[in-house]
Amino acid sequence: MGLTDIKKELKKLDKDKLIDLVTDLYKKNKSVKEFFDFYVNPDERQLFEKYRDKVFEAFYPKRGYNYKLKDAKQAISDFKKLGTSTDFLADLMLFYVETGVKFTNDFGDINETFYKSLATTFVDSLTLMSKENLLDKFEDRVGKVVDDTSGIGWGFHDYLVQVWVDFYPTDDDEDYEDNNNEIKEKGKIIKLGGQ
C-alpha cells in the first residue's frame, strides 16, 4: 500500500475515528509517541541530550562491555527523522566521533570497520557543517578530535588530518599536501590501514 492509498483511506475517516487512530498509534508505537511528543513540545535541547545519551551508551553501556556502533548510528538516524535543526544534528554526529575516539583512547585500537564508521561520520558531519555555515562554531571540537587521534592506528589519524585540512584550509596546508604521498579525495575514504 502506498502513501496515496493511505491518504485516501484516512480521508474517509471522520474526525473522531482519526483521533482514535492517532491515539492508538501513539500508545503502541514508541517512535510515533516520540514524534508527537516533539511535535507538541519541540524542546530540541532536551531531545538532543536524550539522543546524545543513547550514542554515549552505545559505546559505554551501563551493563556489559560490548560497544554497539549500530545503536549509535540508529540514534543519529532517529534524531534526524524527528526534523531537528541541523545545528543539533551536526553536534550529535560530531559527538559520535568524539565518543568513538575517546573509547579507543580508553581501551586501545579497535578494528578497521570501527574506524571507517567514525571516519565516514566525521566527513558527513563536516559536510553538513560546511553546507549550513557551521564550521566556525565547531572548529575547536573538530581540531580536538583530530589531535586526540594522534596515537590511533589503521591510518585513521592521517585520514582525519587530511579531511580536517580539506575543510579548514590554512596557508601551511600546501606544504603538508606536497609532502603527503597519498592525497585522498575530499570526502571519500580511500582506505585505512595502508592495505
Does some domain include residue 189?
A: no
In DSSP notation, 67-130 reads --HHHHHHHHHHHHHTT--HHHHHHHHHHHHHHHHHHHHHH----HHHHHHHHHHHHHHHHHHH
What is the per-residue pLDDT for 40?
57
25-55 pLDDT, tens digit per residue, is 777 777 676 666 666 566 788 889 999 999 9
Query: Are residue 154 and residue 175 in the same domain, yes or no?
Result: yes
Whether 87 is in a domain gets the answer: yes
Domain identity same for 15 and 73: no
Residue 183 confidence (pLDDT): 37
The closest of 93, 109, 108 to 155, measured between CA atoms, is 109
- Which pLDDT belongs to residue 41? 65
Statement to judge: residues 142 and 53 lie in one domain: yes
Q: Is the same domain home to 67 and 92?
A: yes
On whether both 84 and 164 belong to a single domain, the answer is yes
Residue 111: per-residue pLDDT: 92
Based on the fold, state whether residues 37 and 119 are members of the same structural domain.
no
Q: Write out the H or E segment, with its range, that includes residue 12.
A: helix 3-12
Based on the domain organization, do 71 and 34 belong to the same domain? no
Do 62 and 156 fall into the same domain? yes
48 and 59 in a single domain? The answer is yes
For residues 48 and 81, state if they share a domain: yes
Is 167 or 194 the better-scoring residue by pLDDT?
Answer: 167
C-alpha–C-alpha distance, residues 86 and 128, integer Å: 8
Q: Which domain holds residue 2?
A: 1-41
- Counting the structural domains of the chain, the total is 2
Higher-scoring residue by pLDDT: 124, 185 = 124
pTM over 0.85: no
In a domain, 186, yes or no: no
Residues 12 and 80 in one domain: no
Do 171 and 94 sit in the same domain of this protein? Answer: yes
When pLDDT is averaged across residues 112-139 and rounded to a whole number, the result is 96
Instruction: Between 136 and 31, name the one with better pLDDT.
Output: 136
Assess if residue 130 is contained within a domain. yes
Is 184 a member of any domain? no
Q: pLDDT at residue 184 above 70?
A: no
Average pLDDT, the chain: 84
